[in-house]
Each structure stands twice: as C-alpha cells, then as structure tokens.
Amino acid sequence: MSYDPANIFARILRGEIPAYVIEDTDHTLTFMDIMPKADGHALVIPKEGARNIFEISDEALQHVITQVKRVARAAQRAYPGKGIRVIQLNGSEAGQSVFHLHFHVIPSADGMNFGFHGGAAADEKSLKENAQRLKQALATLA
C-alpha cells in the first residue's frame, strides 16, 4: 500500500478540512483530536507524507519527535497532576486507522484504562478551550 494524499490528515495539512490547531511549525502540525480520550488529547503529525514510522525520513522524524516532546511538556503544564501518554500505531493490525504517521499526546490519570479509537466526538467549545490551554502552555516553554 502506498501513501494516500487524500487521507484526512493530508487534507488538514492542505487546509481542506478545519482543525483546532495548537502549533504549526515548518515540519509538523499539532492539533486537537476531535474524538479525544481525555481533555488535552493532541495529535502531532509530520508535514512529510508517510503512512507510518517505517516510511518517514530520519530527518522528518527528528522534527516530529522533538515536537512530541514539546507538546508532552506543555500538556504537563496545562494539566498538572496528570501523567502523559505518548502513543503511535503502525498498521491496521496495531490499531492505526488514519494512514498518515501521527503521535497521540494524552494527559492521563490513574485508573484511565481506555481502548483505542472510536468513542464520542468532543464538542467545539471543549476543543477550543483545550487547544487554547495547550497553546498557552507551549508559549511558556523555552
């Protein structure tokens, strides 16, 4: 299977589909997951088209993982007292449902035992508030 430039994340990158963007860098886009597992559930994607971690260039992956770490730090500040889950899936057998490499950054508390994917979509107000909370925390990072 080859990379499909019509996937939803590629369409978000091109501005064809709206997203609650937290940060847009030269190499990555960070935005809210519209079906979050918790408040502050963000996605970090590369601007390079790659289905999974095996297809992305090493240079692009370095930019992505640096951004993942930044967003995880921001989530720690924005959601004190929470642990931070960083999740990345490769292939449908592993649960990947959008075939554009992406990392989930999810503030988590004890007892949060959730399956992956599916669930209810978040309301617009909640997405905006959580995006703003993470943006403010990112602005405080050096």
Q: Rounded to whole angstroms, how far apart are CA atoms 100 and 129?
A: 26
| Torsion sign (Cα): 97, 98, 103, 106 | negative
Write out the catalytic residue numbers: 102
Number of neighbouring beta carbons within 10 Å of residue 106: 24
Beta bridge partners of 83: 108
